[in-house]
Structure 1
Amino acid sequence: MRFNIFKKVPGITHEGAPARELTVEQKLRRSVLSCLLWENEFYEDGQTIADRILALAVEVPSEILAALAVEARELMKLRHAPLMLLCALIAKGGPMVAPTIERVIQRADEMTELVTLYWRNGKRPLSKQMKLGLARAFVKFDAYQLAKYDRDGDVKLRDVLFLCHAKPRDTAQAEIWKQLVDKTLASPDTWEVALSGGADKAATFTRLLGERKLGYLALLRNLRNMDQAGVDEALVKDAILARRGAERVLPFRYVAAARAAPRFEPWLDQALAETILEQPVLKGRTLILVDVSPSMNVRLSAKSDLTRMDAAATLASIIPGDVRVFSFSNEVIEVPPRRGMAGIDAIIRSQPSNGTLLGKAVTHVNAIKHDRLIVITDEQSQDVVPDPVAAKAYMINVASARHGVGYGTWTHIDGFSENVLTFLREQETFQLNVSEA
């Protein structure tokens, strides 16, 4: 682990524009809330970002660190960055450690991943608070969840159980844990287990869909498999539109599913549109600026075909209300304000991906009458970014680069979950209530 990574550097973006001076908390938030841990981004490698997260985490109060870990997991739907924050919180110690671990851990395998991350520089004893948090988290999971994530890794679930000395709620849970230790838990009824055992693909997916045992993310990731296996189209369509478990799925996952299985795009588009309907319409005219510069066109992770541009365009396509949409790179191009998949395609195909003239783009839209401005970008502008003219102006940052421009008169938001729009709406409601008080 390296903590001596901060050198005296000018406050500029990677592309040379003046950046805002940030507090430690602001630096930490922009590093965390769009971070897929260890994954390289356009301007920085994953190790550099992880090192910065740890270094900054040391400097903020435990209350802020704990709240950010919860926000990253519950609102931004990230999995590994919150665990890194937990490691920093554990190092600080104190009574907030255990309840934060209990709340942040939402899947059984996150217990083993937390211990593995905690031991990344060598095994060491677990603190009392860490043990207590893991013990409380362990109680949350039933036999199916434990069996599903009981994997052969350096740290196994049975190891975590021994380390934290969890106490079962009752005799039934005690028996489940005994089976976990003895490796006699019944195999979970998942598509992975069924297919690895030689089951027929079409029959397996048909049964799991009919019994509602296929999670929504698993459904989206397996649409191509189902198509190739000949699963009944109506059954798949109904599952897509039912959106059971969709609250844990990031919006860009619909785009990935549509690209993998184009025949299902109409229903995926309809399901994505439900995200719009779930949100109150924003009052007044909203202008949306979407960054389509080269740095946005880099994959979210080594295993993903999606980019930050996909994530940004998806977010732009689900903003409710009266909107005008523009893309920016070297030029500022207005695109049709379409919803869902059509809107995403319109943004991505709108112009060549060249520079990052965010300042030019803001100057352009400042001259257009509007009530609200939303910019979705990685903030690495080449030119000076002027202040917005709208009283309601939001800079949504979708990357983890150290420096940013969207502070000061901007309301700055980090992350590419649709919950950033929830925050935006709540911010305006709060301001309205204050002004009327």
Structure 2
Amino acid sequence: MSRFNTRPHRPAGSSPVTTTGRTTTHAGGTGYSRDERSELVLLAAMNMVGQRTHYERADARDERYRNLIRHLAIEDPGWTAGMLGWLRTGAHMRTDSQIGAVEFVHARLAAARLHRVLPGPDAVPGTGETWNRSVVRRVLHRADEPGELLAYWTSRYGRALPQPVKRGVGDAVRRLYTERSMIKWDSPRRPYRFGLVLELTHARATPGESWQSDVFAAAVARRHGRRPDTRGLTTLRRYEELMNLPVSERRRVVLDQPQRIRDSGFTWETLAGWLQGPMDAAAWEAIIPSMGYMALIRNLRNFDEAGISNAAAAAVATRIADPRQVAVSRQFPVRFHAAHRAAAPSLRWGWALEQALEHSTANIPLLPGRTLILVDTSSSMEDSFSADGTTTRRDVAALFGIALAQRCEAVDLYSYSSGRFGWSGPPRARTRAFSLRPGEATLRAVERWETGGWFLGGGTDTAAAMRHEYRGHDRVVLITDEQHHQDPIEVSKSIPAHTPLYTWNLAGYSPSHAPSGPHRHTFGGLTDQAFRLIPLLEAGHTVPWPWEEQQ
């Protein structure tokens, strides 16, 4: 009886990730090199700047990223600028996109000084704006980011700022600098305060916007230690009035006049420092209505410990579960998992976080037929994703593996690593099946995965795991860092050539474990956007880069 030759050939859709030749993975298995564009996109979507990974030092990883940006900024500025814009707004990678913009501009200016003829037009088609100015503007979307970008530029290339950087930052500050953003982000602890950014870039307010001129003037005054003129700045004036209150009167304002706190532009951090005492339930309830979405989900345990009222908790839960709030917040799905874990054992927030997670994974499609999902839980997947080390790659892999499995008509979901006896032993899969339970919440299923022994550790025998668990499925999805060990049968050849194999790369290493080509596709990133491509590819569509879809 034939095991493989049982299904009709599917239409062969194509995706933009391209492999260029054979090599080996970091773990010694058969690998494939990617072209520069593919390598850059997969690296950028997963790179946490300055963070060491299992197979790559932080400095080597960051330098690889910078070199790819610098080369492609000259070879194809339009494509690279589009990628950096998507990196900030689509992949939600803030620091990577700013570093990329700086390296983009510096590389093009350096090449121009060497009298090189740069390929393609220097201006964005149809606008007359230079690529350099455009890319700086595209990556700045939060009021603290202009200062961050300038700090990175001066740390790398000195205090002399070229005109494209000044103009791009100037474009951004006219969009981002407001009274409330100044109160939130313009701290003396930051070397590049709002006033310094304005002075370095010579940014001017938008003509006719007198309030913006007042904001800019106040920012410069604050930077030089002068009292700003707040006559036209209501929020800043209210803020200063509260800051000048004696400490002994402040808690009474929280109790009797909570609206004053909110109208002053206070953040919860400002309020905590201003009170010079504990953040009790009254303090939290005064500031909760004006807290940002991320601040809410990061403080759920603090709310419980302070004992906020059920009414206040219900208001927080409603905001957390609001699909519009989830969309605007641009939180990675794994943030809701981290919030759920941090808030445990409280039962207050589970439903709201589950709803938020469902909204944040809404792009995962319903997949017909039978799907095999293999989640890599080897030791290399223990790399940290968060600064405090509480979220790892294997956490992300488990979350998305379960979320995808819940959208499948029929699914076999496995955790896998290696069952070899010694590193030099023959390939041997170690797998463990995970059964979905009807009606089980995603967060509860992930918790069961984490506590029930599905993180296997050890090496990575991807090809052996595929051969061991493949039973004529309609597609195979691998969630992995791709760094499998040596195997006489390659990953791609471990299932029939006509069966679609989708690899979700969670590390961005340069060697891939399979070639890109008919029925073999690789995705990356921390959002759910990649999965929506599966039905398109299986229908035979050509899938462009994410930012090219909008053009």
Q: TM-score, normalised by structure 2?
A: 0.72
Asked if structure 2 preserves the Cα contact closer than 8 Å seen for 1:65 and 1:85, the reply is: no
Distance 2:388 2:195 in 1: 29
Shift of residue 125, structure 1, vs aligned partner: 1.9
Q: Report if the CA contact (8 A) 1:49-1:400 is conserved.
A: no
Which residue number in structure 1 is paired with residue 326 of structure 2? 246
Q: 1:429 to 1:346 in 2, by over 3 A?
A: farther
- 1:13 to partner: Cα distance: 1.4
Partners of 2:379 and 2:459 within 8 A in 1: yes
* Identity %, equivalent residues: 26
Which letter does structure 2 place at the counterpart of 1:70?
G
CA distance in structure 1 between the partners assigned to 2:193 and 2:509 by the alignment: 34
Give the Cα–Cα distance (whole angstroms) in 2 for the partners of residues 44 and 404 of structure 1: 15
Provide the rounded CA distance (Å) in 2 between the counterparts of 1:285 and 1:293: 25
State yes or no: 1:414 paired with 2:426. no
Give SS of 1:119's match: helix
What is the aligned partner in structure 2 of residue 343 from structure 1?
445
Aligned to 1:7: none
1:260 has 2:350 as partner: no
Candidates 24, 34, 49, aligned match of 1:22 = 34
1:72 CA drift (Å): 1.5
Give the C-alpha shift of residue 104 in structure 1. 1.5
CA distance in 2, matches of 1:391, 1:124: 55
Mean Cα deviation higher: 76-85 or 356-365: 356-365
SS at match of 2:82: helix
Give 3-state SS (helix, strand or coil) of 2:522's partner: strand
Mapped to 1, the partners of 2:472 and 2:182 lie a distance apart of: 55
Whether contact under 8 Å (2:361, 2:528) holds in the other structure is: no
Coordinate RMSD, CA, aligned: 2.5
Match of 2:408 in 1: 321
Within 5 Å, give how 1:222-301 maps onto structure 2: 222-232=299-309, 233-242=313-322, 245-247=325-327, 248-262=330-344, 263=346, 264-277=349-362, 279-301=364-386
Number of the residue aligned with 2:44 = 32
Aligned letter for 2:478? Answer: V
Which one-letter code corresponds to 2:51 in the other structure? E
The equivalent position to 1:180 in structure 2, one of 213, 219, 227, is 219
* Structure with larger Rg: 2
Q: Quick check: 303-312 or 347-356, which moved more?
A: 347-356
For structure 1, the 5+ residue unaligned runs are 1-9
* Matched residue type, 1:400: G
The one-character-per-residue Cα deviations of 1:324-352 (angstroms, maximum 9, x if unpaired) are: 31111121222113551233234443252
The answer as to 2:478 corresponding to 1:375 is yes
Tell me which residue corresponds to 1:3.
none
- Please point out which of 99, 103, 114 is paired with 1:88: 103
CA deviation after TM superposition for structure 1 residue 280, in Å = 4.2
Question: What are the superposed Cα offsets for residues 213-243 of structure 1, whole Å, 9 maximum, x if unpaired?
Answer: 2222111111111110111232333232225
Q: Specify the code of the residue in structure 1 equivalent to 2:378.
A: S
1:164 equivalent in structure 2: 201
Describe the superposition over 1:245-289 as per-residue Cα deviations: whole angstroms up to 9, x where unpaired: 323100111121111111133432232123345654233333221
- Between the two structures, name the one with larger relative contact order (CA 8 Å, sep ≥ 6): 2
Distance change >3 Å, CA 133–CA 28, structure 1 → 2: same
Matches of 1:124 and 1:30 in 2, distance apart? 32
Report the Cα distance in structure 2 between the residues aligned to 1:363 and 1:76, rounded to whole angstroms: 33
Equivalents in 2 of 1:30, 1:97: separation in Å?
23
Match of 2:262 in 1: none
Partners of 1:38 and 1:50 within 8 A in 2 = yes
Residue 124 of structure 1 corresponds to: 159
Superposed CA offset, 1:115-154 (max 9, x none): 1111223523222211111111111122212321113323
Is the partner of 2:156 in helix, strand or coil? Answer: coil
The number of residue pairs the alignment matches comes to 423
Q: Please, which moves more after superposition, 115-124 or 286-295?
A: 115-124
Q: What residue ranges of structure 2 are gaps of 5+ in the alignment?
A: 1-21, 110-121, 123-129, 223-227, 231-235, 240-264, 419-429, 545-551
Contact 2:415 2:456 in 1 (8 A): no
Distance in 1 (alpha carbons) for counterparts of 2:446 and 2:400: 9
The letter for the 2-side match of 1:355 is G
Change (3 A) 1:402 1:132: same
